[in-house]
């Protein structure tokens, strides 16, 4: 058998893995979009994510599949990307937004307490 035929299970696994990683890139884009609400930044981030996913797919194809485009690699990549976006992406986005909100609330309380202590010191000196 050819070496390319023997390595197809490994290629399949790597394409699925990088499809999931590409979906995670889009999840981070979605989270950053919710935090920073700038129209230009949103377009730039979308362009960057699409370009990086295409770049990842081509690099994976060149490095592990010897530059051969096959239907199973395309379908596997986009199927794993879709599965990640539909199922795992929602869980990841919700959990990261909860963490962000807790951190943001904790920092807000910290700075409010710090400012309150400064005001109390100024009032007590007078």
Report pLDDT for 51: 92
Structure tokens at 123: 């009032």
Report pLDDT for 100: 79
Q: Model pTM greater than 0.75?
A: no
Local confidence pLDDT in tens for the 126 residues of the chain: 565 677 788 888 988 998 888 888 888 888 888 778 888 888 898 899 899 888 888 888 888 877 787 888 888 888 998 888 888 877 877 887 788 788 888 877 777 776 666 666 666 655
Q: List the helix and strand counts (H, then E) for the chain.
A: 5, 0
Report pLDDT for 120: 60
Which string of DSSP letters, residue by residue, matches 24-56? HHHHHHHHHHHH---HHHHHHHHHHHHHHHHHH
């Amino acid at each position: 058998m050819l070496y390319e035929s023997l390595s197809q299970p490994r290629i399949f696994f790597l394409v699925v893995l990088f499809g999931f990683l590409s979906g995670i890139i889009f999840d981070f884009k979605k989270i950053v979009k919710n935090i920073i609400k700038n129209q230009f930044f949103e377009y730039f981030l979308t362009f960057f994510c699409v370009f990086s996913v295409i770049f990842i797919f081509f690099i994976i194809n060149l490095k592990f599949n010897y530059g051969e485009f096959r239907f199973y690699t395309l379908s596997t990549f986009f199927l794993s990307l879709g599965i990640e976006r539909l199922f795992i992406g929602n869980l990841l986005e919700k959990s990261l937004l909860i963490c962000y909100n807790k951190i943001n609330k904790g920092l807000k309380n910290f700075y409010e307490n710090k400012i309150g202590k400064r005001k109390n010191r100024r009032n007590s000196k007078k």
